[in-house]
Amino acid sequence: MFLAVGSSKGVRLEDVRELITKLAAENALKYGKASPKAVLGKLIAAKPELKPKIRDIISLVEEVVAEINTLPPEALNQLAGPPKKKKKPSERKWPPLENAEEGKVVTRVAPEPNGYPTLGHAKGLLVPFIYARLYKGKFLLRFEDTNPRVERLEFYEAIREEFATLLEAAEKELGLGPGKWDEEIIESYHIPKMYELAEQLIRKGDAYVCTCPAHIVRAKRKSGEICEHRGHSIETNLELWEKMLSGEFREGEAHLRLKTDMRHPNLTMRDPGIFRIVEAPHPIHGDKYRVYPVYDFSISVMDSLTGVTHAFRSKEFEPHVEVQLAILRKLGLREYEMIQFGRITVEGIPLSKRYIRPLIESGILEGWNDPRIPTLRGLFRRGILPESIVRFFYELGPSKVDATVNFDTIASINRKILDPRVPRYMFVPDPIRVTIEGLDTPTLAKVQVHPEIDMGIREITLEEPLIYISQQDIRGLNVGDEIRLRGLATVNVRSINPDEISLKVSEEQKIKGLKILQWAPLEGGVPARLFIPKTPYSYEMLGGYGEPELANLKNGDLIQLLRLGFARVDSKSPLTLILSHK
């Protein structure tokens, strides 16, 4: 027997039934009970040529699913066939590290506590962490806190908290543990050691104190002209260094420079500054120090002293590798692998704090946790799971190529993780009042919590035949149309007025293929609003009513609003939800 499709094609009904049986058995094994809707979706995906005959196929799918749901697991296993082998996430191969030995690799993440972590920081955290765990090595968290003017205690805590959340998710999602750092190091506690090393350089004639104004230093480095202070004696440089430390020089009046080559083709190698005066209180040490190492000095020295074997950093610092190696060699410190990876940017959304900060200060953004920006706290508040961020960067890998991604890429990963976990709810934005004639009240509506997974049935008591539906849903409706109110009744459209719709319960309740509308009861409906992020500069707010069960949600709950998308509960009074994504 053939099932006609189009004018000249046909498929065997027996073959279609066999495929439905296999898909239904797989669905039942996965979720405990097969769902007709899920099976139908997979069938059409596998055999798109069946779409024109979908009305005829629905009854066959329902029939087969009903049979499948009566069978024991052994029978289901036989019908589904051998399970597909799934690759474990950690089986994906990252490029091997050069000169790496299992058990001896030490990596680190070295954030500066000058702001809240962003998506870019997540890559800087996860790449070295994953490698450390792949090689069964050690992973360090080191705070680069030697620029006190921009650093605050709250940023240390934010970094600890949000990095810990991501690493726990990495262990859960990738099976790479333990999901935490092995040691925490605060760089500023090592400033006395760095002073010793600075003095060592001076005594060897490899560093000198320069008192030129900054603009003169820049001009001479650009032209390759040697600084007049370069020829100072060691004794003079030691004396000037002591004056820097004791406060006889003010900020900007003197700095310590490494003696290299003023004609070097790499401009960063032309007698780079390695210590400067910063007259600002440190968030931990207050006014204890006033001379601080620059990035190139502190990072190279600290990586060497703390045993780092493979130091990862964004490739924008690649020109600085030569400077850092020069520092290590002049000090006779251990060298290590310096590895660059590509920067990450999100299409249309700034990651840099220098772009985000003015938007916050001007009031355009609510704060660093605004769900429109890709700070980690903003993404978490929006409902993006830490596991999704981990999965995104794991799949992206440690490539040296800069990557610009669309937010939809992260959303698609988040959707796959959320979909089997979260319940569905009805929410009616821009509501219009509806009267239902012929509906005996009180009546009990039964709404499926999840279309594919057995999460039970939610019951909604309707005391009066009055509900809300969305203004958007009445577009395209005409008097006489048959529609289905989800979990409640099949109805006929009697009249459509600007402020009210009149429906009547249909005599035939089991009509297939009807448009299904969500609704909320007039009495007991929960007022709610949905915040929809658009760009860092804009958003949309939808107001409406939801089903009564929305009142029982807690802050932080993740749900799916039918036909709108996934959302996170942001606050309860009034009930405010943030749309994560479709």
* pLDDT tens by residue, 359-381: 999 999 999 999 999 999 999 99
The counts of H helices and E strands in the chain are: 16, 29
Residue 159 has pLDDT above 90, yes or no: yes
Residue 230 has pLDDT above 50, yes or no: yes
Residue 2 has pLDDT above 70, yes or no: no
The superfamily in CATH containing domain 87-418 is HUPs (3.40.50.620)
Can you give the pLDDT at residue 288?
97
Rg over CA atoms, the chain: 32
Dump pLDDT digits (tens) for 381-402.
Answer: 999 999 999 999 999 999 888 8
Can you give the pLDDT at residue 49?
80
Dump pLDDT digits (tens) for 449-459.
Answer: 998 888 899 99
Average pLDDT over residues 557-562: 96
Can you give the pLDDT at residue 84?
56
Residue 525 has pLDDT above 60, yes or no: yes
Average pLDDT over residues 276-281: 97
Stronger pLDDT, 45 or 432, i.e. the higher one:
432
Residue 57 has pLDDT above 90, yes or no: no
Are both 87-418 and 424-475+516-581 of the same fold?
Answer: no
Can you give the pLDDT at residue 11?
66
Q: Is the pTM of this model over 0.75?
A: yes
Number of other CB atoms surrounding residue 446 within 10 Å: 11
Distance CA 419, CA 103 (A): 38
Can you give the pLDDT at residue 1?
45
Query: Which tokens sit at 345?
Result: 């940017």
Distance CA 359, CA 315 (A): 27
Work out the mean pLDDT of the chain and round it to a whole number. Answer: 92
Distance CA 412, CA 392 (A): 10
E strands along 79-219, which residues? 106-109, 138-143, 183-186, 207-210
Can you give the pLDDT at residue 431?
96
Distance CA 343, CA 458 (A): 46
Dump pLDDT digits (tens) for 81-99.
Answer: 776 554 444 445 799 999 9
Give the CATH number of domain 424-475+516-581; options: 2.40.240.100, 1.10.15.40, 3.40.50.10800, 3.30.70.100: 2.40.240.100
Q: 4-18, 74-88, 272-286 — which one is most confidently predicted on average?
A: 272-286
Residue 475 has pLDDT above 60, yes or no: yes
Dump pLDDT digits (tens) for 481-515.
Answer: 999 999 999 999 999 999 999 999 998 888 888 88
Average pLDDT over residues 3-14: 56
Can you give the pLDDT at residue 113?
96
pLDDT band at 3 (very low <50, low <70, confident <90, very high): low
Query: Which tokens sit at 192?
Result: 């006395």
Residue 4 has pLDDT above 60, yes or no: no
Dump pLDDT digits (tens) for 66-83.
Answer: 888 888 887 888 888 776
Q: Which long-range contacts (CB under 8 A, 24 or more apart) does 89-93 make?
A: 89/173, 89/174, 89/175, 89/391, 89/394, 90/134, 90/174, 90/175, 90/176, 92/394, 92/395
Contact indicator for 137, 341 with CB cutoff of 8 Å: no
pLDDT band at 460 (very low <50, low <70, confident <90, very high): very high
Query: Which tokens sit at 87?
Result: 């690759």
Q: What percent of the chain has pLDDT over 90?
A: 75
Can you give the pLDDT at residue 10?
57
Distance CA 387, CA 384 (A): 8
Domain ranges of the chain: 2-80, 87-418, 424-475+516-581
